[in-house]
Structure 1
Amino acid sequence: MITRYRSLKTCYSENPVLVIDTQSSHGDLLDAADQRLRAASDLLETLYCMCFKQADAKDIPNIVNALYLLVQDGCDLLEVAKHKQPE
């Protein structure tokens, strides 16, 4: 049996706060995944275009964490959408 709410892999707590509603429409799941993956892609493109001499080394872990959250959440959403039939 599939549970209605699936916790995100990026959840570090035993009691997840952010979850995926597996009963959401296929289109809504894909839209949410697309939003996160495009945000990650846009951030990577911005970083690619920047001169790294301007970057502060302490910002790198923050950037990596943001990218990880966006990509992992997008992948989690795609995984749920993959198992749903399009309307």
Structure 2
Amino acid sequence: MINRYHPLKTCYSENPVMLIDTDASHRDLLDAADQRLRAASDLLETLYCVCFKQADAKDIPNIVNALYLLVQDGCDLLEVAKLQAP
């Protein structure tokens, strides 16, 4: 039996505030995962098309952090959805 609320791995504190409701519908979990993974994919596609010579070096850690959050949260959602799979 898993706990009702599953903390996201992207939490930086010992007391997570961002949680996945494991009682959410399978469809809702998949939709939330899809939304985050598509946003990360879209950002990567944009970055692929943009010349990094135009970017400021201080932007790179911000971009990487955004991508990490989106991908890891999407993976966490997929993990919970797999536990619910019929």
User: Does 1:3 pair with 2:8?
Assistant: no
Letter in 1 for 2:46: T
**Large movers: runs of 4+ above 2 Å:** none
> What pairs with 1:5-20 in structure 2 (closer than 5 Å)?
5-20=5-20
> What pairs with 1:57-76 in structure 2 (closer than 5 Å)?
57-76=57-76
What fraction of aligned residue pairs are identical, expressed as a percent?
Answer: 86
- CA shift at 1:66, angstroms? 0.2
- CA shift at 1:85, angstroms? 2.9
Q: Which residue of 1 aligns with 2:29?
A: 29
Structure 1 or 2: more helix by fraction: 2
In structure 2, the gaps of 5 or more residues are none
In structure 2, what is the Cα distance between the partners aligned to 1:45 and 1:35?
Answer: 15
Q: How many residue pairs end up in the alignment?
A: 86
Q: Which residue of 1 aligns with 2:50?
A: 50
Query: TM-score, with normalisation over the residues of structure 2?
Result: 0.97
SS of alignment partner, residue 52 of structure 2:
coil
Q: Report Cα offsets for 1:37-56 as digits up to 9, x if no partner.
A: 00000000000000111011
RMSD across aligned positions (CA): 0.8
Query: TM-score, with normalisation over the residues of structure 1?
Result: 0.96
Letter in 2 for 1:7: P
